[in-house]
Amino acid sequence: MNRLLSTCLLVAGVCTPALADDPFTLDSTTVSGGATVTITFAAPLDEAQARHWVCIVKPTDADSTFGVWAYADAGATSATLKAPDVDGDYEVRLHSNYPDKSHNVLHRVALKVTGLKPTPAADAQLVLPSASVPVDQAVKVRFKVPLVPEADDKYWACIVPAGAPATAQGLWRMVPVAAEELELPAATSSGKHEVRLHANYPAKHTNVIHSLPIEITGAEDTLPSEPSATAPSLAAAEVPFGTAPKVVFAIPVRPVTGERFWVGLAHADLPTSSNGLWKAVTPGATSVELALPLCTGKHRVTVYGPNNKAYATLELDVAGEHPATDPASIALSLASAKIAVGAKPMVKLGAPVYARTGERYWITVIPKDAEDSEWGQYAYLPNAASELELPAPEKAGSYEVRVHANHPTKSSNVVQRTDLTVE
């Protein structure tokens, strides 16, 4: 069965001999667009080759291309994928050894899809049902003809302020294949805008092929806000622990369409670059309620406007008896320092652990010789938790349980560790 067949498969310009015992076959090498493609493996997938995955891509696509894909479990004898909707020549590929290898093609088979024909470029045009739309109302657009992209491409549409750079994304939506109409998000402020149609994504991140003007109507206070005119302040400069702080504005906040206003809450000791726990300000709102602080003490509230630029900083006191935990005071222990493979380690911390607002603790179980920067099998520690169950180690050996503090200010920062034996 291992003899070479006389037939060959043309793959990216290379004639590849097929084997009589090819790793997989297709129930049909010609299917209609959107049909189910059934892949039958010559033998159950080998667990020794780690995780397998299958995909449908263009024959000229790099081996790293995912296209339409799905995992195939060890021992599987078949898999299915949905064929692309667009007419053309494709290729079904089987990969192995994931995640050790992000891609590793074992075999490929040509697939012909008789599907939708791509829209001629001259017909890919927008049609607006109305030349004006009220602010805060979704913008509905139609297309001259149903939009069908080339096989590897996508169309997308957006609404942006008039005169915005061609690279501006504004508020956008992908265009479904063969769509006749699309609903775009509501513009966040009034004034002159444009609706734009882009083609050739992802090969080109932006590529405007058609645009139409549209007027977003509204009262004077719906025009874009000057950040300084919003004059943010705290509803209360001190709040008890367990109470959400509130920021109030002097006028309704209206960002330029495609931008946003948002507010970050962080412990005062965090770097000023830390966004902390943040909330977006709803367009037109005069206040925003922030997330609950994670600890007591002095905090910093930072208000951001267009281009994510900070324009106001406010001081907040959080009253109570729950200051941020000193990492050195954590009494780390294990419910059992010796467990069986497949068992989940239970971590004890001695007392509730409070992170600085804007940070969090995470705990990992990891081989003892691993670098401190490695993540291993981890879980984030809920704020004020005093214990945590970790993922089960998959192999026997010598491990460590490590407590990391100050994420994301520091990607890794081991403050406590203890040994764990897995048998």
Contact residues for 116 (Cβ-Cβ < 8 A; gap 6+): 33, 85, 86, 87, 148, 177, 178
Last residue of a domain, one of 219, 241, 266: 219
Contact residues for 324 (Cβ-Cβ < 8 A; gap 6+): 267, 269, 294, 295, 297, 354, 355, 356
Average pLDDT for 205-230: 97
Mean pLDDT, the chain, as a whole number?
Answer: 93
- 70-85 pLDDT, tens digit each: 999 999 999 999 999 9
Last residue of a domain, one of 319, 337, 370: 319
Say if residue 245 is in the same domain as residue 181. Answer: no
Say if residue 208 is in the same domain as residue 231. Answer: no
Q: Among positive and negative, which fits the CA dihedral 408, 412, 416, 418? A: positive
The pLDDT score that the predictor gives to residue 393 is 94
Domain containing 43 equals 4-114
**Tell me, what CATH number does 130's domain have?**
2.60.40.2840
The pLDDT score that the predictor gives to residue 13 is 35
Confidence category of residue 47, pLDDT binned at 50, 70, 90: confident
Closest CA to 382 of 361, 364, 401, 366: 361
Last residue of a domain, one of 114, 143, 176: 114
Say if residue 245 is in the same domain as residue 207. Answer: no
| Local structure of 213: helix, strand or coil | strand
Tell whether the model's pLDDT for residue 409 goes beyond 80.
Answer: yes
- 176-202 pLDDT, tens digit each: 999 999 999 999 999 999 999 999 999
- 335-381 pLDDT, tens digit each: 999 999 999 999 999 999 999 999 999 999 999 999 999 999 999 99
Euclidean distance between CA atoms 137 and 258, whole angstroms: 15
- 248-299 pLDDT, tens digit each: 999 999 999 999 999 999 999 999 999 999 999 999 999 999 999 999 999 9
Q: Bin 202: left if φ > 0, else alpha if -120 < ψ < 50, else beta.
A: alpha
Strand partners, 229: none
Closest CA to 407 of 376, 370, 381, 377: 381
Say if residue 110 is in the same domain as residue 130. Answer: no
Domain count, the chain: 4
The pLDDT score that the predictor gives to residue 151 is 85
Say if residue 133 is in the same domain as residue 52. Answer: no
Say if residue 139 is in the same domain as residue 156. Answer: yes
Say if residue 346 is in the same domain as residue 270. Answer: no
**Tell me, what CATH number does 35's domain have?**
2.60.40.1930
Say if residue 315 is in the same domain as residue 342. Answer: no
| Local structure of 230: helix, strand or coil | helix
State in Å, rounded, how far the first CA of the chain is from the last one. 44
Say if residue 25 is in the same domain as residue 110. Answer: yes
Whole-prediction pTM value? 0.81
Say if residue 129 is in the same domain as residue 109. Answer: no
Say if residue 195 is in the same domain as residue 272. Answer: no
**Tell me, what CATH number does 259's domain have?**
2.60.40.10
